[in-house]
Amino acid sequence: MTMEIEHPGHAPLAAYERLIELGLALSSERSFDRLLERFVLGAKEITNADGATIYILEEKDPTGVKKGEAGHNTARREQVLAFKIIRNDTLGIAMGGTTGKEISFYPVPLERDGKPNFHNVSAYAAISKRTINIEDAYHVENFDFSGTKGFDSKTGYRSKSFLTVPMLNHKGDVIGVIQLINAREDDGKTVVPFSKTIVPLIEALASQAAVAIDNQQLIEGQRLLFDAFMHMMAAAVDAKSAYTGGHCQRVPVLTEMLAHAACDQTEGLFADFALTEEEWYELKIAGGLHDVGKVTTPVHIMDKATKLEKIVDRIHDVGTRVEILKRDAEIAALRRMLAEPDQRAEIEVALAAELKRHDDDYTFLQDCNVGGEFMADEKIARMQTIGRQPITIANTERTLLTEDEMMNLAIRRGTLNDEDRKIINDHIVLTIQMLESLPFPKHLKRVPEIAGGHHEKMDGTGYPRKLKRHEMSWLARMMGIADIFEALTAADRPYKKPKTLSESIKIMSFMKKDQHIDADLFDLFLRTGLHKEYAERFLMPEQIDEVDITPYLTKPVAQAAE
């Protein structure tokens, strides 16, 4: 079938030494494109080939969608050899890999019309798992080189000797094919067949490359799986609460913005701050999962828009009871009118006043039900007086408001009572527990610490672990600032109005002063203008106002830059 050229002797010692060097280099390479290029260029060097092409085995459905992409049909898969790198010294061709030049050639299918594609030499090598060494492609009948001849006629090139080697991983599975073209004499011009003595070296190199590529694909597959898991958990929180879902998307963005700002510093405290590629990925995972514990938080607490809300807002039940009070007042007045007809006018005036009082009381209770910034003592006292009014329902005397309702309406800030807040706060405990239960690899070991520290405070009064500043990583402290700023400015919460940019910065300046957030990071946040950048991306236009950051900096801007 093929023309294999016999050459006595062994490959030069230098070729073996180069093979060992390349094997070590391939095993340590982390970039997929650079890995393929090292392999291709190394194979070209050992064989002194003029050109080389590397194909990687991929699966596609009939629409051309690759395996793992949206729209992929697992029921109808087609295996193809996709072009990844093309090199040719004579023609000056360098495509694929790190060149940035896309290869537009169609992939080579392993089947045609439901039958093995034995006409294409690269497909045959992949299917048969055999190395094909051809002396002259123009004098071979078993394979279809019409495409090669057409290319030659257009370029004036002469494709002659071909060495096509399947790349087998440790399981013996084909993951790709390398094809070397036109072996050359030492003069670099005379084209000769590929020496049979060099073939075992290329096969060994192809095997080493295949194992390295297979390992990278395995790692990438695990990474894609974990990314999908992270997005699935975020989607679960999102589906449970659209408000929390928006929060889970914005906090990681702002955290990464702050981390980039720290990395960009060339002077001062953050001059040496830097993150590796793995540390960036670690931050991405921590950001995506920082509130994963909220999947256990009851929706009626997580989205508690009013103080009396549970499954429904209980203020409507209170409204019904007020209507009963008004009905009873009207019944009592009508009875008095029947008994004392001459007092009708006075009774009507008194009734009108009582009905208005009930309406005013209900309006006041509705106002109390909305979580504000502060509930004054006099309001709480009036609410309790209203709540203790007697009312008869189903022949049972009770008060207008239950003790639980009065306790909730007396909440001084926001809509959460102490029990609600404990349940909310527990989400971070559950987040840490969930993340610490995962067997993170070494480069992701800090994910629980980064994700679980965004409610800690620099003075050790935060939760759940009461960590102090020096006990927290920079990334955990960054996420704490991002979490607070997002919460203050968020416009999609049903239980509060969004704050303006200046209001949010002022509140955070108090938190800085009280050692609740990291002072150095807050200064960086302001000095680099991240508050403005974030505002332009995520805030409503009416929230964005002018902010003079000078009073909030530890040092004036001019001094901080010195």
Q: What Å distances lie between residue 35 and 59, 211, 303, 327, CA to CA?
A: 21, 11, 50, 83
Q: Are strands 396-399 and 390-393 parallel, antiparallel or unpaired?
A: antiparallel
Between CA 88 and CA 254 the distance in angstroms is: 46
Domain-by-domain residue ranges, the chain? 13-220, 241-300+419-560, 315-415
Query: What number of helices (H) and strands (E) belong to the chain?
Result: 19, 12
Alpha helix (H) ranges present in 474-556? 474-489, 501-513, 519-527, 530-538
Q: What are phi and psi of 458, to 5 degrees?
A: -65, -25
Q: Within 10 A of 118 (CB to CB), how many other CB atoms are there?
A: 16
Residue 489 in tokens:
């400015």
Non-local CB neighbours of 110 within 8 Å, separated by 6+ positions: 78, 79, 80, 81, 116, 117, 123, 126, 127
Crossing angle for the helix pair 13-28 and 199-240, nearest 10 degrees?
0
Q: In whole angstroms, what separates CA 382 from the centre of its chain? A: 49
Q: Does domain 13-220 have CATH number 3.20.20.100?
A: no
* Cis check: omega of the bond before 464, within 30 degrees of 0: yes
Instruction: Give the DSSP H or E segment for 84.
Output: strand 78-88
Non-local CB neighbours of 93 within 8 Å, separated by 6+ positions: 51, 86, 87
Q: What is the SS3 assignment for 96?
A: strand
Q: Within 10 A of 155 (CB to CB), how many other CB atoms are there?
A: 13
Residue 540 in tokens:
């409503």
Does residue 164 contact residue 45 with C-beta atoms inside 8 Å?
no
Between CA 46 and CA 183 the distance in angstroms is: 10
Between CA 78 and CA 75 the distance in angstroms is: 10
In DSSP notation, 191-249 reads: EEPPPTTTHHHHHHHHHHHHHHHHHHHHHHHHHHHHHHHHHHHHHHHHHH-HHHHHHHH
Reported as half-sphere exposure (CB side, CA atoms, 13 A), residue 62 has a value of: 5
Q: What is the SS3 assignment for 270?
A: helix
Tens of pLDDT, residue by residue, the chain (562 residues):
343 333 334 455 566 666 667 666 666 666 778 888 888 888 898 899 999 999 999 987 655 555 555 455 555 578 999 999 999 999 999 999 889 899 988 999 999 988 999 999 999 999 999 999 999 999 998 899 998 999 999 999 999 999 999 999 888 899 999 999 999 998 778 999 999 888 988 898 888 888 888 888 888 888 888 888 888 887 777 667 656 657 778 999 999 999 999 999 999 999 999 999 999 999 999 998 888 877 777 766 666 667 777 767 888 999 999 999 999 999 999 999 999 999 999 999 999 999 999 999 999 999 998 877 678 899 999 999 999 999 999 889 999 999 989 998 988 887 777 777 776 767 788 888 889 998 888 989 999 999 999 999 999 999 899 999 999 999 999 999 999 999 899 887 665 678 899 999 999 999 999 999 999 999 999 999 999 999 999 999 999 999 999 999 986 544 433 3
Give CATH for domain 241-300+419-560: 1.10.3210.10
If you compute the radius of gyration of the chain from its CA atoms, what whole number of angstroms results? 37
Number of residues assigned to the chain: 562
Reported as half-sphere exposure (CB side, CA atoms, 13 A), residue 443 has a value of: 11
Non-local CB neighbours of 366 within 8 Å, separated by 6+ positions: 315
Q: Are strands 111-112 and 396-399 parallel, antiparallel or unpaired?
A: unpaired
Between CA 488 and CA 547 the distance in angstroms is: 15
Instruction: Give the DSSP H or E segment for 387.
Output: helix 377-387
Does residue 36 contact residue 83 with C-beta atoms inside 8 Å?
no
pTM: 0.63
Q: What is the SS3 assignment for 119?
A: coil
Nearest 5°: the CA angle 66, 249, 231 is: 40
Does residue 364 contact residue 386 with C-beta atoms inside 8 Å?
yes
Crossing angle for the helix pair 530-538 and 501-513, nearest 10 degrees?
140
Fold match, 13-220 / 241-300+419-560 = no
Report the pLDDT value the prediction gives residue 453, as an integer from 0 to 100: 92
Does residue 151 contact residue 144 with C-beta atoms inside 8 Å?
no
